[in-house]
Amino acid sequence: MAAKVIDGKAFAATVREKVAGHVARLKEEHGITPGLAVVLVGEDPASQVYVRSKGKQTVEVGMNSYEHKLDAGTSEADLLALIDQLNTDPAVHGILVQLPLPKHLNEDLVINAIDPAKDVDGFHISNVGLLGTGQKSMVPCTPLGCLMMLRDVHGSLSGMDAVVIGRSNIVGKPMAQLLLGDSCTVTIAHSRTKDLPDVVRRADIVVAAVGRPQMVPGDWIKPGATVIDVGINRIDAPEKGQNEDGSVKTRLVGDVDYDSCAQVAGAITPVPGGVGPMTIACLLANTVTACCRANGLPEPEGLTA
Ligand SMILES: NC(=O)C1=CN([C@@H]2O[C@H](COP(=O)(O)OP(=O)(O)OC[C@H]3O[C@@H](n4cnc5c(N)ncnc54)[C@H](OP(=O)(O)O)[C@@H]3O)[C@@H](O)[C@H]2O)C=CC1
Ligand SMILES: Nc1nc(=O)c2c([nH]1)NC[C@@H]1CN(c3ccc(C(=O)N[C@@H](CCC(=O)O)C(=O)O)cc3)C=[N+]21
Ligand SMILES: [Mg+2]
């Protein structure tokens, strides 16, 4: 039996529609337009693509988008001054600083300078602590998008065995917290995990967030399990031929070997078109949520964890 393919692109479109509805209501009933500020330091081409796509979708759902592009040599003091200005700007309800930052900038210091109420990435230590203690917080977009898809597939996740591969602060750890919040039995695996194949074979839910192309083969997957592939890896695709400059063409693959996993899994997210589009949709959702909270209005239902 081939797996059900979880269409993250279509799911993200329904999330954006809900967001657009809330934005329209905020405008009509309260005269408020939610605003998202995205800060990009440096010229990393992949980051530029994401930031452009975020800005475009922000405008499409009716929100204001403020893009701040700083050059790679920007000082920490200048970046902190910009964040301060965004923190106090009443038109800005969400602030995202694109990661990774250039080496000379302290990421923890910069992230923790963001007003936690505007921290739509959910990376501020205050939001991390709130999530870890089950209190209302801003929830990181990628894990939130994964949770929404898992709830859509399964309804209740209660009692399911979940394995998260990867323990980063931006994906693995918050993903594990959310699964725990939905009463899964959660295992977090990482580069020092012994017998990773056997750990993964126990899982009803596998979330792969490693950054290694096609690392998880189908024979690690329990038949019928749900596989969520967070990985975004660009690999050479000589079968597609060459670019005009003679360089080899590339394609995106996830952290799971899609073809073999799809033979065994019950449901699986593709790359592209799975977790990635949901991440951006959840960023827009978090911005509306932040805007409602900032104005003492009831927050949108179905867009938070
Ligand atoms: N779709 C989306 O919206 C997003 C996609 N991504 C993608 O997700 C992937 C992970 O991102 P991120 O969490 O930031 O990555 P990090 O590099 O921060 O973390 C990777 C994790 O994988 C673990 N790991 C590395 N090698 C192995 C291995 N051989 N076996 C088991 N675990 C291993 C590391 O373990 P250790 O801690 O021991 O080093 C680490 O915990 C990347 O491909 C990234 O591009 C990221 C964010 C959003
Ligand atoms: N502060 C911060 N917050 C982030 O959320 C954040 C970040 N920094 N740094 C980088 C990672 C990565 N990330 C992605 C978002 C969307 C897609 C996405 O939409 N991917 C498309 C394909 C895009 C393509 O073709 O390149 C897809 O999977 O279908 C991918 C990756 C957010 N990140
Ligand atoms: Mg990292």
Give the domain CATH number at 67: 3.40.50.10860
Position 9 in a domain: no
Mean pLDDT of 148-161: 98
In the reported structure, the alpha carbon of residue 296 is separated from the centroid of ligand 2 by a whole-number distance in angstroms of 31
- In angstroms, rounded to a whole number, what is the distance separating the alpha carbons of residues 213 and 229? 11
271 Cα nearest atom in ligand 2: 28
Last residue of a domain, one of 115, 132, 166: 115
Q: Do 165 and 81 share a structural domain?
A: no
The verdict on residue 79 lying in a domain is: yes
Which of the listed residues 190, 228, 253 should we mutate to test ligand 1's pocket, taking the one with most ligand atoms within 8 A of CB? 190
- Residue 191 sits in a domain whose CATH number is 3.40.50.720
Length of the chain: 305
pLDDT (average), residues 17-22: 98
**How many domains does the chain contain in total?**
2
Look at 8-22, 43-57, 76-90, 208-222 and tell me which has the smallest mean pLDDT: 43-57
The average confidence (pLDDT) of the chain is 97
Boundary residue ending a domain (115, 133, 163): 115
Q: Encode burial over 286-298: b for 16+ CB neighbours within 10 A, e otherwise.
A: bbbbbbbbbeeee
Residue 303 is assigned to a structural domain of this protein: no
- Of 101, 168, 187, the residue with max ligand 1 atoms within 8 A of its CB, to mutate for a pocket test, comes to 168
Q: Could you tell me if residue 292 is inside a domain?
A: no
- Binding-site residues, please? 166-168, 232
Domain-located, residue 300: no
State yes or no: pLDDT of 235 exceeds 90: yes
Q: Which of 18, 43, 42, 29 is nearest to 287 (CA)?
A: 18
Annotated binding-site residues for NADP(+) read 166-168, 232
Residue type, 50: Y
Evaluate if residue 1 carries a pLDDT over 80: no
Full-model pTM: 0.98
Mark whether 54 is an active-site residue: yes
**Residue 204 belongs to some domain of the structure:** yes
Asked whether the ipTM of the predicted complex exceeds the cut of 0.90, the reply is yes
Q: Which residues contact 197 (CB under 8 A, 6 or more apart)?
A: 219, 220
Cβ atoms of residues 65 and 23 within 8 Å = no
Q: Would the CB of 141 count as within 6 Å of ligand 2?
A: yes
pLDDT in tens, 31-41: 999 999 999 99
Sheet holding 226-229, edge to edge: 4-5, 267-268, 226-229, 205-208, 161-165, 185-189
User: What is the span of the domain harbouring residue 175?
Assistant: 141-276
Q: At what angle do helices 125-132 and 172-181 cross, to 10 degrees?
A: 30
Q: What is the bridge-based pairing of β-strands 233-236 and 250-253? A: antiparallel
Q: How far is the CA of 166 from the centre of ligand 1 (A)?
A: 5
